[in-house]
Every structure is written in structure tokens, then in C-alpha cells.
Structure 1
Amino acid sequence: MSGLQGEAPGLVRVRDPEQWAWFADGVAAGRCPWASAGAVLPAHFETVVRVFPPAQDGSTWEQVAAESGRVAHPLMQWTHIEQRCGMASRSGEGPLVFGDRVPEAGNPPADLLEAVLEHCPAEGAVFHGVWVGYNQWDDPSNEALLVIPGREYRIFKGPKAAFRDWPDWQADRRGRSANLVWPADHSWVVAAEIDWPYLLVAGPAELTDSIHANPGLEAHRVPMNTPLDWSSDTINPPFWQYP
């Protein structure tokens, strides 16, 4: 089953640590650098792709880079391809460091997540992880969490769908996608790290190749253990260094 879901039908909170122990153990065993794919998802997967959401104005990252005279490549960073980055902070008029059309970090559009999940096979229900730090829960108890370095997640089980609402979610705070999704057989993971404006998908080459080949998705293969923070873009200099 798959589809866009504005509310949370069929989702239940998972409190058994055995259901996510493989994930935490996989991250720990990978010993990958901070800010790499292997720091936010288990490192044993064969391949990883970055999937780039469109900008707020609908532009692809490749188009944004071209407009700025920059090069689109697998390790590109928004701060290095968007010429509007840092303009407000340099002028002293405000904190608009990332420009006005940056995709929202950690919250991919539901239609993008749905398009990615169409490539991810699953028998029955899947697991959804939501970062606890949003502090938008009616039930503030943070017991039984998936914990990896620097991140804690509530885990839910339900249909394979792009949910935007969660059990115990405050009614006036709806509209956030899952930060993690994986199937019962642990054959793939979709991750939306809260500080990154793109998705990571890890799994077998056949799965990630199909995402990479989808003309409706902007995706690039990346190594599991290569940092994906601003320092990873060694081709394009960051715009905030410019006067």
C-alpha cells in the first residue's frame, strides 16, 4: 500500500527496542564520519543516493547551479550553488543565510517522498521514524526511542505512505514528513536528516539505480562514508565568503 496521507490512519507507536536495534547497531558498526550518510543510517547497505527536492520556486538544483554559474554534482551543497545565500547576513539586514527558495531541511514534500517510496518494495507495514526534537507531541513522554549519535526518534508502524501527521501530534502542528522509513525486512532506508534539505535512500543497487534513472527525480549516487555537510562541495566555493 502506498499513497499520500494527511492524517495518521493505521499508524501505531512502536515501543519495543528490538524493532529498531538493527538500525542503531548498523550506525554504530559503520563508524562513519559525522555528517556522512553512514552517520544517519546503517552503513552496511550496498548503495546510497541523494534525492534533491525542488527549490521553493520549482527549480531543480541543477537549474539553480546553472543560474549561479556553478557546477551540479553529487556532493553539491545548497550554500555553494545558490547565489542568494548569505546576502542578507552580509548586508546586516537579517539572518536569511540560505536564500528565499531553499528546500525545507528534514521535511521533504509529501509528493517527493511518495515518488521515492514507489521505488521501495515492502510486504505489509513499514516503520516510520520522527525526530523527537520537534516538541510537538501531546504526550511529552520520550521513552522507547531509537537513539543514534545526536538524534532520537519516535518509531511508528503503519502503511507505506507519505504521512504528514502522527499519533499524539499536536493538531495545530501537522505537516511534517517522516525522518526515517524502512520495511520489516530492513532491505532499504529512506532518511530525511533534520539539518539537510534532501533525502538519502540506501539499499541494493537495483533499488537506488531505479531512483537515479527516474527522470522525475533529481538524484545522485554518493559514498556511504563521505561527509555531506557544507565542506563536501570542493568544486563550488560557498557564496557566503564573497563580499
Structure 2
Amino acid sequence: MELMEDVRAGDWLLARAGGWAQVDGVAGTGFEAYARILHPVPAWRVDPADTDSWGIPTTVEEGRWRWADVAARTGATMHPLVQWRSLTGGEQDPELPGDWSVQSPEQGLLDTDLLAALTEHLAPATSTPQQLVAGLWTGHGELHHGGVRFVALVTDGEADEQPDTAPVTEHAVPRDVRARALSGPFLDWPGREMLLFSTSARELADPSWPRTARWGWSEEWGAGMTPQLLWPAGHEWALASEIDWDSTIVAGSAELVAAILADPRLEAFPVGPEDALTEDSDLVNGS
């Protein structure tokens, strides 16, 4: 990822920004087809009979679930405009039968292994797979000074005991990126100022790409930030992970969207350009 000086690379997509809170409002108008990819959720099961010294039940199983796994336990119906709170009965981080709990899906962040899987479809769908542009929202806290990161070290009280902590590997956001996040120039996407970075399908095909991206990395917290916008120099498609949405939109040809919908690694649905994805958009399960 290299910071781009010329933000006019996004003018073509900016000219096609659609309605607010609509699919085409985050990914652009005029594409043949659109796919919505749901961000998966962390899930864990505890053993209530096995607790630590604080009375906290021990986690005995962990995984990454699809929304359909949650729906199977809540009785909700999966459909293209499904919304998380409608799926869970209004709970953000619900507890489910069988001592399972799930955390709400990440907003504005598609897991890098899923982005790598998507790249397998995106790369052949453009004439310029090694010339991609990534847009990063300037409002990420990591891009600005003043954030504080801390680690709490806890012992059982023995005077000579040293806390046992694993080393944390990380690198900071470079100064020039921080400076640009404050002063621009930006791609003035509606309601979302963006920094632009050059990248490639080759880079994004490796899920570990954030380790060398020029917007920081922490081994403990992972990527932290992934692109809110992504497109090729050939303009054949656009990808959008709107910062307030828990799903990613891919806009492009019917053939590209069909390939994404058929990929078993992705929980994806076809959507229309004017479909809204707000909390009250789920008319099947109720808002």
C-alpha cells in the first residue's frame, strides 16, 4: 500500500455515487449487478460448571460463524436485506442456546482472508489487476494522534513474581499518512473523506498484507483497518465496506457477481442498487 498524492483517481466513482444509505450510495451507480457479503462473527461456548477464580466460565470452544449459523439458533430467516439486530431479536452481542455467545459483526472491515478469496474473482474481472486503488476513511482513530494503547499486567500478588506477557509486534502509522489524514487532499466521498492508496490484486491475495501496509499493524489487534473502497484502474468493478455497515458490497458485471455468490467461502446475497441497508430494512424478520 502506497499513499497516493492525486485523489482524482476516484473522480469517476464519485460521479456515480448514488442515494444515501443505498447500495449504490456506497459502491456507485451504473453497474450490471451487485453482491452483498456478510461479515462473519466470532462465536464461543462456555462451560458454566467450570469457572476461574473470578467466577467466569471457561471458554471450551471458539469459532467464526456465518449469520446463517445464528439464524438457525434464533429462528430468524436469512434473506438479502437481513439485518443483524433483526436476526438476534434486538441484541447486539446475543447469548444463544447451548451456552454459545456471539459478537456482533465488524463494521467497515472485511476479514483479510475473505478479501483474499474475493480477489480470486476480482482479479480476472479487470484488465488492470495489478493497478488497484484503495480508499481508507480518514476518521479511523488509528490515523490520528492522541490514541493510547495499554496492556494491563496482573499477578496473584507474589512480590517476586514477574508478569508473563508475550511480546507484541506492531508498527505505527507513518507520519505522512497521519498528516494527510488531518489536512488532505481527500477523495470527498459523500459523508466520508478518504485517503487513497495504490495496491494490487497480488498484494491483497495474501491475507497478511496489513503487516506491511502503510497504515499500521498490531499482532494483538490484527489489521484494525481495511479499505472502505477498492477499484481497479480499468473501472470494471468497485468494492465498498462502508464504515457503518456490517457487510461489504461488490458492484460489477453479472458474471463477477455470480462467481461471488457461488463461492462457498463467502456468505453473499444479490442486492439491487437502490436497496437500503439500514436497521429498519429487514422487513422479513422485523426491524
In the superposition, the TM-score normalised over structure 1's length comes to: 0.81
C-alpha spacing 1:211/1:16, structure 2 compared with 1 (3 Å) = same
Percentage of matched positions with identical amino acids: 31
Corresponding position of 2:5:
15
Q: What do the CA deviations read for 1:73-92 (whole angstroms, capped 9, x no partner)?
A: 0000001002471589xxxx
- Give the residue type in structure 2 aligned to 1:213: A
Corresponding position of 1:42:
28
Give the one of 91, 115, 135 matched to 1:85: 91
Larger Rg: 2
- How big is the shift at 1:190? 1.2
**3-state secondary structure, aligned to 2:195:** strand
User: CA separation in 1, counterparts of 2:185 and 2:13?
Assistant: 14
- Give the residue type in structure 2 aligned to 1:146: L
Q: What do the CA deviations read for 1:9-32 (whole angstroms, capped 9, x no partner)?
A: xx22112133111011111xx4x2
Whether the 8 Å contact between 1:179 and 1:193 is mirrored in structure 2 is yes
Residue 61 (str. 1) matches residue 67 (str. 2): yes
Runs of 5+ in structure 1 lacking a partner? Answer: 1-10, 89-98, 239-243
User: CA separation in 1, counterparts of 2:112 and 2:87?
Assistant: 24
- Structure with the higher fraction of residues in strand conformation: 2
Corresponding position of 1:109:
111
- How big is the shift at 1:136? 2.3
C-alpha spacing 1:220/1:86, structure 2 compared with 1 (3 Å) = closer
**3-state secondary structure, aligned to 2:28:** coil
Q: CA RMSD in A?
A: 2.1
Moved segments of 4+, more than 6 Å: none
Alignment of 1:1-243 (within 5 A): 11-27=1-17, 30=18, 32=19, 34-57=20-43, 58-83=64-89, 85=91, 100-121=102-123, 122=126, 123=128, 124-137=130-143, 138=175, 139-141=178-180, 142-160=183-201, 161=204, 163-164=209-210, 166-167=213-214, 169-170=215-216, 175=223, 176-238=225-287
- How big is the shift at 1:164? 2.5
In the superposition, the TM-score normalised over structure 2's length comes to: 0.69
Q: What do the CA deviations read for 1:93-136 (whole angstroms, capped 9, x no partner)?
A: xxxxxx84211111111101111121102422211111100132
Aligned length in residues:
213
- How big is the shift at 1:235? 0.7
C-alpha spacing 1:171/1:213, structure 2 compared with 1 (3 Å) = closer
Corresponding position of 1:91:
none
- Give the residue type in structure 2 aligned to 1:153: M
- Give the residue type in structure 2 aligned to 1:148: W
